[in-house]
Structure 1
Amino acid sequence: MAEELHPLQNEWVIWEHKANTGSKDPAKWKENMKQLCEFSTVEGFWQYFSHLPKPSEVFFDGDCKKKVSDAGSGTDGDKTVEEYSLFKKGIEPEWGDPQNVIGGEWFCRQFFEADVLDLYWTNLVMACIGETIEDAVDDEGAFQSYINGARVVDKSRNFPLYKIEIWLNTRDPIIKERIKDKLMDVLTDGQQTPSRKMQPKFDWRDHTA
């Protein structure tokens, strides 16, 4: 008997972005962006996500950034990963995408311990694909989706610094605040109560073309 699959509300894509070698050319930046997988079921998600290195396993930890290899390449680590992105299929993880430029992002830029960084990223990804951050319906009772995707980024230079983002396709102040409130609950689920100093602090930024 075939295994019953559990479809998601949307189809999603996970992207990997290699560290830039120093060029500021936007075209070069996009060359470093690679689609790793796409999925539309819970089972498909776990099939891919459980085999991806965790952010703490590839990001700068105070000593070094780790070199990793492409799956199945058979080579030693030959690339440095500086971000992972999860976006709905058809939306690219860049500001200029038509669905991104009309909105903006909530972002948190600070240091997290390795286990906290991984927990926050996993919680955020699962909340996005499970549509648990949003609860809005329109006048006809249809579900309204404002979340385009999420990113975790290594912003470290001489000391560890990470960025967690959730991208929206709206700048409506009421919707933004509602999602931010829910985001805080979702992100810290499963974490021992963090000290006030270590709580994630989110700021808003509009996207522009």
Structure 2
Amino acid sequence: MKELCSFSTVEDFWRYFNHIPRVSQVFYDGDTKKRVGPNNKVVEEYSLFKKGIEPEWGDSKNQTGGEWFWRCNLDSDVLDLFWTNLVLAVIGETLEDPTSGAHVNGARVLDKGKNYPIFKIELWIDTKDATVKEKIRARLVDIIAHGLPAHKMARNHPKFEWKDHS
């Protein structure tokens, strides 16, 4: 895993985000594992985490919580929409209830495809509190599918499951 960038302003975020390939441009499409960059590397995940938090279970900030995850087969346009919505929700802090504090550590999308395109979308949080977890999950389901046309909603309705990190 390699850090591509870090940012502290909205302007910096958009400067980087607009120049990083969409996940559908680098993940397995059912035909080939795509290779990118001068070293011809296969990209298997995109991560967005708060500064100082590694996208690893062993990071002390992640050990106290877990992740909401969804393993899914999505069309490329839907995958891009869901990832963009999740990224914007994480940096805009719209997934969290202001009364319960900041619990979101970061998000990942992983290419799990071998013989067909399958992806895993994750939201990592620092708590196992049932009430906080459920509020975040409910917001996650609403936010991630924002902008999805109604005719695509039934097939692509997010079904997140919980996994503890300890």
TM category (shorter chain) comes to over 0.9
- CA deviation profile, 1:150-179 (whole Å, cap 9, x unmatched): 000000011110010000000000000000
Could you list the runs of 5+ residues in structure 2 that have no partner in the other structure?
A: none
Structure with bigger gyration radius: 1
Q: Distance in 1 between matches of 2:142 and 2:103?
A: 18
- TM-score after normalising by structure 2: 0.96
Are 1:149 and 2:106 matched, yes or no? yes
Q: 1:165 pairs with 119, 122, 125, which one?
A: 122
Residue range with higher mean Cα deviation, 186-195 or 54-63: 186-195
> Which letter maps to 1:113?
D
> Which letter maps to 2:83?
W
Q: 1:90 pairs with 37, 52, 63, which one?
A: 52
- Three-state SS of the structure 2 residue aligned to 1:106 is strand
- TM-score after normalising by structure 1: 0.77
- 2:19 corresponds to which residue? 51
Q: Distance in 2 between matches of 1:195 and 1:85?
A: 25
- 1:190 corresponds to which residue? 147
- Three-state SS of the structure 1 residue aligned to 2:137 is helix
- CA deviation profile, 1:55-90 (whole Å, cap 9, x unmatched): 100110000011100xxxxx3x61000000000000
Runs of 4+ aligned residues of structure 1 deviating over 4 Å after TM superposition are: none
- CA deviation profile, 1:34-66 (whole Å, cap 9, x unmatched): 111000111010000110011100110000011
Q: 1:109 pairs with 62, 67, 71, which one?
A: 71
Q: Distance in 2 between matches of 1:52 and 1:187?
A: 20
1:195 CA drift (Å): 4.1
Are 1:174 and 2:131 matched, yes or no? yes
Size of the alignment, in residue pairs?
165
Are 1:202 and 2:160 matched, yes or no? yes
Quote the sequence identity (%).
56
More helix by share: 2
More strand by share: 1
Are 1:122 and 2:90 matched, yes or no? no
Pairwise CA RMSD: 1.1
Could you list the runs of 5+ residues in structure 1 that have no partner in the other structure?
A: 1-32, 70-74, 139-143
